[in-house]
Chain A
Amino acid sequence: GIQVEQSPPDLILQEGANSTLRCNFSDSVNNLQWFHQNPWGQLINLFYIPSGTKQNGRLSATTVATERYSLLYISSSQTTDSGVYFCAGLNNAGNMLTFGGGTRLMVKP
């Protein structure tokens, strides 16, 4: 089945710091998506990124599909970045999303 693993599981940053979150996924994962779950529980799409690099403001993501990993970069972190970051892999049929365990981020002022 699909395997999605994230690291680190927990991360504490000082406001303004940069960070990199990693997601490893198995061969059966076709595409990758990054989500942010804010402290209020809302799940927000960040990137749909099967390969290559995308940027959105202070966030960017890179997926190297041939090496089965994706990275999420957060630059100049802010307290509002706190929450849990999930990556999720889509199966080859494109209809089942498997989530990793998440990285719980806390940004301190």
Chain B
Amino acid sequence: DAGVIQSPRHEVTEMGQEVTLRCKPISGHNSLFWYRQTMMRGLELLIYFNNNVPIDDSGMPEDRFSAKMPNASFSTLKIQPSEPRDSAVYFCASSFSPGKFFGPGTRLTVL
């Protein structure tokens, strides 16, 4: 199995632009999680899906953030408009049983 796949691996954009991060979970996993990692706040859970349905989005920082999971093999995290304080590494993780598997992350820099 290829593991959790994220794209892009690096994204540099200017303030105000729309950013879309993509995730392909491990086949057969029914839960998908989006995390954000910053130096100041460490790893934070943004949102998670179970069977493609958003269960808890209380970690989503603002209305500028949105996430979708149109099918079991694909999810997106969108930031519109982006701001410099959104700069972070965004991880996607999937699981079927306890024990999560993380993707390589997307390093986002907003100038």
Contact = CB atoms under 8 A, between A and B. Distances in A.
Interface of B: 31, 33, 42-43, 45, 48, 50, 55-56, 89, 91, 93, 98-102, 104-105, 107
B105 A41 contact: yes
Interface of A: 30-31, 33, 35, 41-45, 48, 50, 86, 90, 94-97, 99, 101-102
B91 A43 contact: yes
A33 B43 contact: no
Q: Interface SS of chain B: helix, strand, loop or mixed?
A: strand
Contacts, number: 43
Q: Interface SS of chain A: helix, strand, loop or mixed?
A: strand
Given A44-B102, A95-B50, 20 more contacts: A31-B98, A33-B98, A33-B99, A33-B100, A35-B102, A41-B89, A41-B104, A41-B105, A43-B91, A45-B99, A48-B98, A50-B98, A86-B43, A90-B98, A95-B31, A95-B56, A96-B45, A97-B45, A97-B93, A99-B43
